[in-house]
Structure 1
Amino acid sequence: MNKNTSKTVLIIGANSDVAKQCILQYVRKDFFILAASRNTLSLEKFVQENSLHSQVSVLHFDSVEFDSHQKFYDELPAKPHIVVYAAGFLVENEKALKDFKGVQQMMMVNYMGAVSILNIIATDETNKNLERIIGLSSLSGVRGRKSNFVYGSTKAAFITYLAGLRQELASRNIKVNALVIGYIRTKINEGLQLNESLIMEPDYVAKFIVNAGNSFTIVPNFKWKMIYWILKMLPESLVAKLP
């Protein structure tokens, strides 16, 4: 594959389980991948194991090092056609209520870092390639619930940002999508007690990202779509009774 002739996807937070599946699926569609992560060693190992060196370039990116974001973007080997923000950080609610450092990290990775780099990308009108920006959010951000409202608040903020960004970029015909995702069998959920019948596999979720259409909100899996709409429509008195 020639990165000079293929469309380019920039995946930020590319070391996540879902992002790695996105890499594999984008490669099958003949994209060149800029895989950005804080943990480049793990990502390099993944690229090597899957023989992807000619199709994937691994780059160092830290969502919370805001001052480095402009330089990172300016030095990209190719300006992206598609951008996927997949970086995420989770602290369980009970701990988050008592540990503001963990909360701060969630805010910086899940929201502030996203806004920082996506603002840079979105306002670069010299990049005529840009077609789409996709942000990975969560059902936790749909309504505030006592079991996860601290984490959920960072995801809700991200959804609101993406909704406004979609309007901002509409005149340039750039699509913006928010993936509103339920439970996934990933590293971030290890150790949590989750309903097994609702857990999705990373490759399944990746298909919805790689094949994103025109709809702003994309909710993978029919069960989770039902839960999404129930959460949206429930009166506050009933939401308050949810875990």
Structure 2
Amino acid sequence: MDQNTNKSVLILGANSDVAKQCILQYFQKGFSVIAASRNINSLEQFVSENHLNSKVMVLSFDAVDFDSHQKFYDDLSVKPHIVVYAAGFLAENEKALHDFGSAKQMMQVNYMGAVSILNIIAMDKSNKNLERIIGLSSLSGVRGRKSNFVYGSTKAAFTTYLAGLRQELRQRNIVVNALVIGYIDTKINQGLVLNKNLIMQPDYVAKFIVNAGHSFTIVPDFKWKIIYFILKILPESLVAKLP
């Protein structure tokens, strides 16, 4: 724990269920946590209930308010060693196909907001602290499937961005990871009919984030690893038969 006492982690979109578990686990490893979210009231309540006030700073961050991102970063009292982009938005595919507002919201939160703030953070060469950037992506972005391809396209774009960012930052010894995640028992998936045998708990997924190694693609749970590799190699004719 002592080795991380002078290190900080910035969690963007920190009000998600997985992000809250990351706050707890980073705290347990000795990190100071900057938890940023659009809904700071809920976040402040979570921090208070878990007696984390001394080690967790709560800030307001709106992923889709692009013009505010530079000031948000400039105003950070401590530049982070680790950055986790956990902001996300999901609309059902049918709604996204008929309501561009829903599709646009997914594009802005899942991809555009990430590129906006992460470019600012990554290109600040004066921050000698930065050692890792972690983005939360999804198996929905591995192949286009008719049930969720609008959402999946935003995650595919995000994964591709992270892959290029990893190459860009390699010479500065900054690691970039993409968490390619399957079904999680979180509020974003409430109301969806999901296979219960494949649902992961937020604290389980958080462990893979907090303990991320050097590999670019990290797929929590062996069942999802199998699904990931099958999706990667499946012929288009068979992908078309998937829901």
For the superposition of Structure 1 and Structure 2, which TM-score range results when normalised by the shorter chain? over 0.9
Which SS does the other structure have where 2:54 is aligned?
coil
What is the match of residue 175 of structure 1? 175
What is the match of residue 196 of structure 2? 196
What is the match of residue 101 of structure 2? 101
Kindly state the Cα deviation for residue 5 of structure 1 after the two structures are TM-superposed: 5.5
Alignment of 1:82-93 (within 5 A): 82-93=82-93
Q: Give the 4+ runs in structure 1 shifted more than 3 A.
A: none
Aligned partners of 1:94, 1:72: CA distance in 2, in Å? 35
What is the match of residue 229 of structure 1? 229
Kindly state the Cα deviation for residue 18 of structure 1 after the two structures are TM-superposed: 0.1
What is the match of residue 163 of structure 1? 163
8 Å Cα contact 2:38-2:60 kept in structure 1: yes
Aligned partners of 2:130, 2:120: CA distance in 1, in Å? 12
Aligned partners of 2:16, 2:242: CA distance in 1, in Å? 29
Aligned partners of 2:128, 2:222: CA distance in 1, in Å? 36
Kindly state the Cα deviation for residue 83 of structure 1 after the two structures are TM-superposed: 0.2
1:132 aligns with 2:132: yes
What is the match of residue 25 of structure 1? 25
What fraction of aligned residue pairs are identical, expressed as a percent?
A: 80
Aligned partners of 2:25, 2:179: CA distance in 1, in Å? 17
Which SS does the other structure have where 2:98 is aligned?
coil
Kindly state the Cα deviation for residue 77 of structure 1 after the two structures are TM-superposed: 1.5
Which SS does the other structure have where 1:97 is aligned?
helix
Aligned partners of 1:58, 1:234: CA distance in 2, in Å? 43
CA deviation vs aligned residue, 1:223-242 (integer Å, no higher than 9, x gap) = 00000000000010100000
Which SS does the other structure have where 1:15 is aligned?
coil
Structure 2 length-normalised TM:
0.98
CA deviation vs aligned residue, 1:200-219 (integer Å, no higher than 9, x gap) = 00000000000000000000
RMSD (Å) for aligned C-alpha atoms: 1.3
Alignment of 1:49-128 (within 5 A): 49-128=49-128
Alpha carbons of structure 1 residues 5 and 199: separation in structure 2 relative to 1, 3 Å: closer
Alpha carbons of structure 1 residues 5 and 234: separation in structure 2 relative to 1, 3 Å: closer
Aligned partners of 2:242, 2:93: CA distance in 1, in Å? 15
Kindly state the Cα deviation for residue 160 of structure 1 after the two structures are TM-superposed: 0.2
Alignment of 1:146-161 (within 5 A): 146-161=146-161
Kindly state the Cα deviation for residue 192 of structure 1 after the two structures are TM-superposed: 0.4
Letter aligned with residue 75 of structure 1: D
Aligned partners of 2:182, 2:217: CA distance in 1, in Å? 13
1:41 aligns with 2:44: no
Letter aligned with residue 92 of structure 1: E
Letter aligned with residue 6 of structure 1: N
- Unaligned segments of structure 1, at least 5 residues: none
8 Å Cα contact 2:137-2:158 kept in structure 1: yes
Letter aligned with residue 137 of structure 2: S
Aligned partners of 1:96, 1:73: CA distance in 2, in Å? 31
Structure 1 length-normalised TM:
0.98
8 Å Cα contact 2:18-2:203 kept in structure 1: yes
Letter aligned with residue 109 of structure 1: V
